Amino acid sequence: MVDILDQDAHVLAGLIRDKELSAEELMRATLARIEAVNSSVNAIISLRDAEACLADARAADAMENKGPLHGLPVAIKDLANAAGLPTSFGSPLFADFIAPKDDLMVARMKAAGAIVIGKTNTPEFGLGSHTFNPVHGATRNPYDLNRSAGGSSGGAAVALATGMMPIADGSDMMGSLRNPGAWNNVYGLRPTYGLVPSDMPGDAFLHQLAVAGPMGRCPQDVAMLLDVQAGLHSDDPHSYVQAPSAPQLAGDIKGMRIGWLGDWGGAYPMEEGVLDTCEGALSHFEALSAKVEKLPAPFPTEKIWEAWVGLRAWANAGGKAAFYNDPAQRGLLKEDAIWEIETGMALTAMDVHRLSVIRSQWYAKLIALFGEYDALLLPSAQVWPFPVEWKSPETIAGQAMDTYHRWMEIVIPVSLVGVPCVNIPAGFSAAGLPMGMQLFGPRMSDAKLLRIAQRWHEATEFKDRKPDLAALSR
């Protein structure tokens, strides 16, 4: 008998719509799974009272269907506001903050019928692809509780992998939808910049690095949530209208050309087994009649890194300088946040201009590549999930990491220029740890990437290898 929580989110939504499953039944099963598993992995935080969640589910059963997420329980990443729930950002500065209203993305999910029951854990201010913070502690990988879940959407990815959530929201500046997707054997889409609009206060024009987006156990679920999150909004000058993605997932990928960038010609150090695992998975594309071609390094990685470090630090300084300038608050900031702020504050206007020129040069080269290839591929991480006690890896293959985030350098060719990218599962290490690959394409190709990912999902066996829930429930 199939456990109801093993069903994909779009299937559950259809069962609720057709009155074959009640939202209350789904909520009871969800709360029971959280009760059994969450104490082992620490993925869901700020959980609402069970009776209040069940009351909302009964109300959903009594009303007309509100939309594609009707009756589905969700937990919101703790970098976004959900009215009445804490938004800690994983920081002691906000440990007691209760959100007075929903962020735009959360409001759209609720309007589509989702029932918000809590939050998912994240690193402090989302900095670093390892989910731990002094407010809620560390989130553990369900495939090995001694390992990192990735981040910053680590709580969301673990909630999906363990069946505690059918879908999840996340956000991504430096791999935060892709790295935890890879390390938890699920899908995470970093959308085209602007597709999922934001109404966050602050600058709306300069800092085009971070995005919000969907996660799911299959691309069809990712597309369903993306269509709820996406769309024009007057508060975001970069937002735009795009045809819904979910109806575009049908069709084969026969004849598509996909470029494999591997370790970028040896520029990215890789832990043993990562590259072999990803390259071993590429044959699935051949089985789908798509052609994979190995490509040489297309652009100097040191230039991409230089632009990324400066522009990311500049964005962090712009958003967090007020905390730094208050001595009492500065004492509560983690070391990595202070480093980002100080690095960003040291930049001149002409420094920023020079870095943005590098970004523009890389974008021009990338667009030329997309003139030849339907999509490109890179590993989603350079290392396997590492011990949960670590802050970050200090070396990879004998090469020292000179910053707290250098170990995730492989994600920034995508992040720097705002193109869409979906993590697709790629297999497991000898120790049973998951890995994934970044499938990325030109701006506004989100639906095409999800179509490729859906064919991949159907053709591969990775989805069948799930965490041992019995072990997590002990």
* Cβ(267)–Cβ(296) below 8 Å: no
pLDDT surpasses 80 at 132: yes
Give the CA-trace dihedral at 105, 110, 113, 117, to 10 degrees: 110
pLDDT at 474: 78
Query: 281: which 2 tokens?
Result: 């998975």
**Residues 44-75 pLDDT 10s:** 999 999 999 999 999 999 999 999 999 999 99
Long-range CB pairs of 448-451, under 8 A, 24+ apart, other chains included: 448/248, 448/374, 448/375, 449/189, 449/375, 449/420, 449/421, 449/422, 450/189, 450/219, 450/222, 450/223, 450/226, 450/245, 450/248, 450/249, 450/422, 451/219, 451/248, 451/249, 451/250, 451/251, 451/253
Mean pLDDT estimate for the chain: 97
pTM: 0.98
Average pLDDT over residues 98-124: 98
pLDDT band at residue 210 under the 50/70/90 scheme = very high
pLDDT surpasses 80 at 285: yes
CB atoms within 10 A of CB 121: 32
Cβ-proximal residues to 166 (8 Å cutoff; 6+ apart), any chain: 5, 7, 8, 9, 12, 72, 73, 74, 160, 216, 217, 221
Residue 374 CA to residue 420 CA, distance in Å, equals 13
Query: 348: which 2 tokens?
Result: 């001149």
pLDDT surpasses 60 at 1: no
Q: Which of 278, 223, 282 is nearest to 258 (CA)?
A: 282
Cα first-last separation, the chain: 22
CATH class of 8-472: alpha beta
Question: Which residues have a catalytic role annotated?
Answer: 77, 152, 176
pLDDT at 201: 86
- Percent of the chain, pLDDT > 90? 99
pLDDT band at residue 200 under the 50/70/90 scheme = confident
**Residues 140-156 pLDDT 10s:** 999 999 999 999 999 99
**Residues 396-427 pLDDT 10s:** 999 999 999 999 999 999 999 999 999 999 99
pLDDT surpasses 70 at 2: no
